[in-house]
Amino acid sequence: MIRILLVIAMLAGTAGAVVAYGDPHRIARASDSVARMLRHRSLEPPPAVQIARSRAGEFALHAKINGVKAPMVIDTGATSVVLTWETAKAIGLPIEMLEYNVELETAGGHTKAARLTIDRLAVGGLVEKSIPALVVPRGQLKTNLLGMSFLDRLESWGVQADKLMLHGYPEVVASNSKRSRSAAN
């Protein structure tokens, strides 16, 4: 899809050059410039992360929330990313200012949660910004949940042979840059 958009952009740029310049030599130079620019950019494969199923049957991982490593469990039944109070405090969120006014049903029962937005959440090479999340009061949850407010932003995700595969969207990046695609475990 990105490749098609790049070709369309190149064609639009060339058409714009024809209209703007009208001079065949300038058009040829503009076309060469666009071709050189596209050669220096490459379409990298979409980032992917594999997470092995634990012995307990969960897909557990370590994510980075606002740059701080935090254990999480994938929970497709959770509408949102849900953080424990302890994790929220560890990553520097303003827990003293949170308003616990969202009704929430967890495996442990009914509780209230506070809404907030996580600036940056990274799982391996997958990075999302401005993720809606919830924080539960101290002691209400044993682990952080990576819910649908993160998973819905991915290109795809699914289980294959006891591994959860998370696929992000491809990016157009400079061809000489190296991006690692590491497992989140």
Q: What is the pLDDT of residues 97-129, one digit of tens each?
A: 999 999 988 777 888 999 999 999 999 989 999
What is the pLDDT at residue 86?
95
Cβ partners under 8 Å of residue 41, min gap 6: 6, 172, 173, 174, 175
Decide: pTM greater than 0.95: no
Q: Which CATH architecture has domain 48-174?
A: Beta Barrel (2.40)
Give me the mean pLDDT over the 81-85 stretch.
Answer: 96
Task: Output the pLDDT for position 172.
Answer: 46
Tokens found for residue 52: 């092995």
Q: Examine the pLDDT at 174 and tell me if it is beyond 50.
A: no
What pLDDT, in 10s, does the model give residues 126-164?
999 999 999 999 988 899 999 999 999 999 999 988 999
* pLDDT > 70? residue 56: yes
Give me the percent of the chain exceeding a pLDDT of 70. 66
Per-residue pLDDT band at 50 (split at 50, 70, 90): very high
Highest mean pLDDT among 8-22, 70-84, 95-109: 70-84
